[in-house]
């Protein structure tokens, strides 16, 4: 199969996007302004220039805090935000929410604009036409989708043909305990030249190993996360990863993030934390040397999802 060359993502001044992104979901919530500034500074020191937020995170405070942090170096950065988690994927809603985000971020133009989730009630042609118009107007630079199945992305690709626009970035969930993206999403991104920017490479904090030692966090405090990461194999995988990390003299978070980044489709993991201390092991994955043997050893700790075929009995 001939693959489409992946677009090189850059900031507005042409600076290449970093290998990892930082997710600002905690800004203004679990991370106060001082903690947020410390994490931002640590990311910049590590070379990260891609920052991801959404107006729905902490009621807009995440965008407002990020605005203050990026003010002096905005053109070197790739700033992403989202719309359509509420109100649908129609053009009027996307424009209204983008306008609100631009005000909070203090930006005329947002680099990456995501439709936050699939909306079965809106024709994707309207959504993609809206992306095309926003690009033409200079309001956004890259069109992006989040939480879409592979078939939904391909439907968007087809819907964008008339207005000459394609999906630049896709944000799926992907980690050692959430591997479904390996079946169709990541191969599709490679084939279509779409950058995959997966979130939750630490499995909601499960792969840090803290829950096995009685720690607390979103999985113990949030019913949605408890359900998402409630299967027994996930906790067994986290324990096995922690043991492997101890053998290698590193942190399980470092292994988890490095493993997610090493998929052949070259994804850009979105790392996050509540404090700079929590963030450091994920940042360490930027320089961690993950050879093929260790990659396979980590992969073997969790079930590999079945291929997307109805002829499993004929697979090697």
Is residue 282 a part of any domain in this protein? Answer: no
Is residue 21 a part of any domain in this protein? Answer: yes
Is residue 89 a part of any domain in this protein? Answer: yes
- What pTM does this model have? 0.95
Q: Which domain holds residue 36?
A: 8-171
pLDDT of the residue at 242: 97
How many independent structural domains does the chain possess?
Answer: 1
Is residue 3 a part of any domain in this protein? Answer: no
User: Considering just the CA atoms, what is the radius of gyration of the chain in Å?
Assistant: 19
Domain CATH for 115:
3.20.20.100
Is residue 184 a part of any domain in this protein? Answer: no
Is residue 138 a part of any domain in this protein? Answer: yes
List Cβ neighbours of 199 (8 Å cut-off, separation of 6 or more). Answer: 23, 52, 171, 172, 173, 174, 269, 270, 272
Alpha helices in the chain (DSSP H): 33-46, 61-70, 91-105, 124-136, 150-159, 185-192, 218-221, 223-228, 232-248, 252-261, 276-284, 292-299
CB 268 within 8 A of CB 52: no
| pLDDT one-digit tens code per residue, 257-281 | 999 999 999 999 999 999 999 999 9
| pLDDT one-digit tens code per residue, 59-82 | 999 999 999 999 999 999 999 999
Residues of the chain with pLDDT under 50: 1
């Amino acid at each position: 199969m001939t693959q489409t060359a992946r677009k090189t993502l850059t900031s507005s001044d042409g600076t290449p996007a970093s290998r990892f992104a930082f997710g600002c979901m905690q800004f203004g919530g679990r991370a106060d302004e001082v903690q947020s500034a410390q994490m931002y500074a640590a990311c910049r020191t590590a070379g990260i220039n891609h920052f991801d937020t959404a107006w729905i995170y902490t009621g807009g405070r995440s965008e407002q805090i990020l605005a203050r942090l990026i003010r002096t170096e905005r053109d070197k950065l790739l700033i992403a935000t989202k719309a359509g988690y509420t109100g649908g994927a129609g053009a009027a809603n996307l424009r209204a929410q983008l306008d609100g985000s631009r005000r909070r971020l203090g930006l005329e133009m947002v680099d990456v604009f995501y439709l936050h989730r699939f909306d079965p009630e809106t024709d994707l042609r309207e959504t993609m036409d809206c992306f095309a118009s926003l690009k033409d107007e200079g309001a956004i630079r890259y069109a992006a989708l989040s939480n879409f199945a592979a078939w939904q992305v391909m439907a968007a690709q087809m819907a964008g043909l008339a207005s000459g626009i394609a999906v630049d970035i896709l944000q799926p969930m992907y980690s050692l305990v959430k591997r479904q993206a390996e079946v169709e999403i990541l191969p599709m991104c490679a084939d279509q030249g779409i950058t995959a920017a997966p979130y939750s490479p630490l499995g909601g904090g499960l792969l840090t190993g803290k829950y096995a030692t009685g720690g607390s966090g979103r999985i113990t405090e949030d019913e949605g996360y408890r359900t998402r990461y409630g299967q027994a194999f996930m906790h067994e995988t986290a324990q096995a990863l922690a043991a492997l990390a101890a053998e290698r003299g590193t942190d399980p978070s470092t292994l988890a993030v490095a493993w997610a980044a090493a998929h052949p489709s070259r994804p850009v993991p979105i790392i996050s934390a509540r404090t700079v201390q929590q963030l450091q092991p994920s940042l360490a994955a930027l320089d961690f040397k993950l050879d093929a043997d260790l990659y396979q050893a980590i992969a073997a700790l969790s079930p590999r999802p079945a291929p997307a075929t109805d002829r499993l009995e004929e697979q090697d």
